[in-house]
């Protein structure tokens, strides 16, 4: 930050990397709050249109794959990796968690008890017990009780704090709470940057 503007002279070079939250609008200006600093500013519409990026607005959508294609088309991981420090929105799955042993045991017991009840019902009815048992066994195979809880889909608005990572996890400042959060590049399924929403099929 320049503390004494009187020292600025012709031929000097300046730069700015500032993040804003929109707090209001008027006919020809956008009113914003400066993140991390406080205070409100009024920015002319022409400045907004020519120089600022939006985290969530987009004019087009592009379906992409997760990994790069052989023809050189970038996948969503590379699109995120090549993105600089501009604000953006990223959708990703949180890390899977291990299910507690007590919960896992209870779910498996409930599944078995349900199958036994259906077999007993068949014995007292008209259906063949072996057919019912086979159906329940097939359900076990198709819908096994997993030891993990799949991570939830999460939306986060902010910007990358670092451009490098050793394990695929990038620290990302969540501007809605102003705290850094990890984003695993391998679980990203949608990404909004520079007025384009990139997404993996199904998201």
Of the two residues 114 and 180, the one the predictor is more confident about is: 180
Note whether 18 and 34 are within 8 A (CB). yes
Domains, the chain, in order of start with CATH, read 5-51 (no CATH), 60-95+151-200 (2.30.30.520), 98-148 (no CATH)
Among residues 47, 58, 76, 70, which one has the least CA distance to residue 189?
Answer: 76
- pLDDT, tens digit, 9 for 90 and up, residues 9-58: 999 888 888 999 999 999 899 999 999 887 889 999 999 999 899 999 99
Q: How far is CA 33 from the centre of its chain?
A: 24
Average pLDDT on 118-143 reads 78
Measured distance CA(63)–CA(194) in Å, rounded: 15
Average pLDDT on 135-148 reads 80
What is the model's pLDDT at position 168?
85
Compute the mean pLDDT over every residue in the chain, rounded to the nearest whole number: 88
Residue 51 CA: distances (Å) to CA of 11, 34, 48, 101: 22, 16, 6, 53
What is the model's pLDDT at position 108?
83
SS3 12: coil
- pLDDT, tens digit, 9 for 90 and up, residues 91-114: 999 887 788 888 778 888 888 888
């Amino acid at each position: 930050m320049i503390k004494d503007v009187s020292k600025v002279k012709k031929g000097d070079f300046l730069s700015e990397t500032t993040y804003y939250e929109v707090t209001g609008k008027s006919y020809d200006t956008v009113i914003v709050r400066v993140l991390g600093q406080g205070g409100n500013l009024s920015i002319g519409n022409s400045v907004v249109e020519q120089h600022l990026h939006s985290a969530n607005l987009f004019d087009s959508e592009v379906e992409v794959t997760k990994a790069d294609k052989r023809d050189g088309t970038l996948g969503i991981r590379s699109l995120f990796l090549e993105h600089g420090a501009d604000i953006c929105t990223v959708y990703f799955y949180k890390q899977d968690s291990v299910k507690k042993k007590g919960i896992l045991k209870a779910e498996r017991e409930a599944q078995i008890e349900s199958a036994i009840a259906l077999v007993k019902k068949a014995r007292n009815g008209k259906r063949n017990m072996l057919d019912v048992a086979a159906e329940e066994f097939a359900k076990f195979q198709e819908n096994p009780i997993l030891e993990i809880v799949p991570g939830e889909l999460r939306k986060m608005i902010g910007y990358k704090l670092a451009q490098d990572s050793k394990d695929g996890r990038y620290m990302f400042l969540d501007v809605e709470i102003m705290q850094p959060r990890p984003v695993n590049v391998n679980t990203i399924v949608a990404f909004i940057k520079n007025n384009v929403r990139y997404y993996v099929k199904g998201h």
